[in-house]
Amino acid sequence: MRYAIPTIFAAAALAACTNLAPDYQRPAAPVAANWPSGPAYKADAANAGEHATADADWRAFILDPKLRQVMELALANNRDLRTAALNIEKTQAQYQIQSSLLFPHINASAADSGSLTPANLSATGSRMVLHEYTVGLGFSSYELDFFGRLRNLKSEALEQYLGTEAAQRSTEISLIAQVAAAYLSLAADQEHLALSENTLKDQQATYAMDQRRFELGSASQLDLAQAQTAVDTARGDAARYTALVAQDNNALTLLAGAAIPSDLLPALSLANLTAVREPTTGLPSDLLQNRPDIVEAEHQLKAANADIGVARAAFFPSITLTTSIGTASTQLSGLFKSSQRTWAFAPQLNLPIFNAGSNTATLQVAKVNRDIAVAQYEKAIQTAFREVADALADRGTLDAQLAAQQSLVDATTQSFRLSSARYKQGIDSYLVVLDSERSLYAAEHNLIALQLARQGNLVNLYKALGGVGVTAH
């Protein structure tokens, strides 16, 4: 027994020389090397950026101090993010469990047994009372990992653990994007509500004037009815945006995981609110390899690759050892005498001979799972590329849309002023005024929507890039 334990550890070290898992090769990215180019994209979108960072802190992206405080509240209290962190703890513990199987689990034991044999059953013909005391140290069913089965299981558990870390990072980036988007939506709907309420006040004042003119005979029943439609439209919009503002607050509270102080809610119009920074988009597409969901997919691929090694090891013999060393005595006083030492050493060899093709099928399943993981990894890259390309297409055209919409607001404002003046002079009918007013009202709402889309595009681009490409200027 003196030589048994060193021999076991020497055998375990020898076992480390064999690993039946295939050598891992990262699949080539099934996307173009550069971002798309064309009329929808800015000129810098296809160029390589020299100042991009792959692990930028979210504080470099969020500029508004109120939104930063809301973000810190969400990162501390959001339940989805908390669940992701707990999943990391769970998979870390599972990895530690799997790693421990590479070493023998040594246990100490102590026992006291007693028995009584009656005289008529005793070999001596006398009544016998027997006590046995034992103390031992040993391990049971320790597998010598000659063919890498346990090491590949450990590698698989490690990749699962690393994958949950990437998933947690992905959840955090999604949360940052969701909070920013919800904050901007609240600001936009507050602005829509303010516009609707102001328009309602103006329309009510106009209706009162038209009603007075109708009573005096200088306005027709048609003019009064048309003025009423404008009042009702604004009243309906005010009610609708009141509900939307309340729902935006509810959504933001859910994301934050706690009540948000009223002084942290947006108070500025979107035109004056600089909430987020413009990401650096001149990045080569291979930087998407750092996007957390792609990192997670690659860890899943590596885990599937290790599982092939586990399946291959099932074709080879497995050796398990059970051993113990200790003392035994019929008297407690003599338990620790040198003459009472005991030991046991029981190696066991298991050789697969016939299992009706089970091992072959298990290996085939492992290989198919690896191929599935490759396809999922490649799809994750393609999806990421498409998301960035879509965001870049929006980024390249939204400024032009905003400029056109602002020009439309200016033009419809002038049209409304002129038509109102012509109506008061009796040149045009009230229908012309009403049409100009409706056009202005719609143009102003559309301008707010485009301002939201412009800032929302920066949020989408940040998320699509996986939090990369944000640098402080």
The pTM score is 0.83
Tell me which H or E stretch contains 442: helix 430-464
Average pLDDT, the chain: 85
Q: Based on the domain organization, do 202 and 339 belong to the same domain? A: no
Shared domain for 159 and 275, answered yes or no, is yes
In terms of domains, do 82 and 151 share one? yes
Tell me: pLDDT of 322 over 70: yes
* C-alpha closest to that of 134 among 114, 106, 107, 113: 113
For residues 198 and 253, membership in a common domain is answered with yes
Q: What is the pLDDT of residues 213-236, one digit of tens each?
A: 788 777 778 878 878 888 998 999
Q: Provide the domain limits for residue 240.
A: 4-102+146-316+368-464
The kind and range of the H/E element at 370 are helix 358-424
Segment (H or E) for 390: helix 358-424
| 466: three-class secondary structure by DSSP | coil
Helices (H) then strands (E): counts for the chain: 8, 4
Residues 94 and 113 in one domain: no
Residue 48: what pLDDT?
Answer: 39
Q: Are residues 203 and 268 in the same domain?
A: yes
The amino acid occupying position 33 is A
Do 227 and 283 fall into the same domain? yes
Query: Binning pLDDT at 50, 70 and 90, where does residue 404 land?
Result: very high
Do the domain assignments include residue 471? no
Q: What is the pLDDT of residue 406?
A: 95
Question: What's the CATH code of the domain at 312?
Answer: 1.20.1600.10
Q: What percentage of the chain carries pLDDT values higher than 90?
A: 43
Q: Residue 341: which CATH number?
A: 2.20.200.10
Please indicate, yes or no, whether residues 191 and 274 belong to a single structural domain of this protein.
Answer: yes
- Check whether residue 140 and residue 182 sit in a common domain: no
Is residue 387 a contact partner of residue 397, using CB atoms and an 8 Å limit?
no
Q: With beta carbons less than 8 A apart as the criterion, state whether 228 and 234 touch.
A: no
Per residue in 268-281, is it b (16+ CB within 10 Å) or e — as a string? eebeebebbbebbb
pLDDT of 346-367, one tens digit each? Answer: 888 888 888 888 989 999 999 9
Residues 98 and 65 both lie in one domain: yes
Would you state the structure tokens that stand for residue 102, as one six-digit string? 């590479």
Whether residues 311 and 415 fall in one domain: yes
* Residues written for the chain: 473
Residue 423 within any structural domain of the chain = yes
Interval 341-345 mean pLDDT: 85
- Domains in the chain, number: 2
Q: Is the same domain home to 157 and 233?
A: yes
> What pLDDT sits at residue 51?
43
The reply to whether 157 falls in a domain is yes
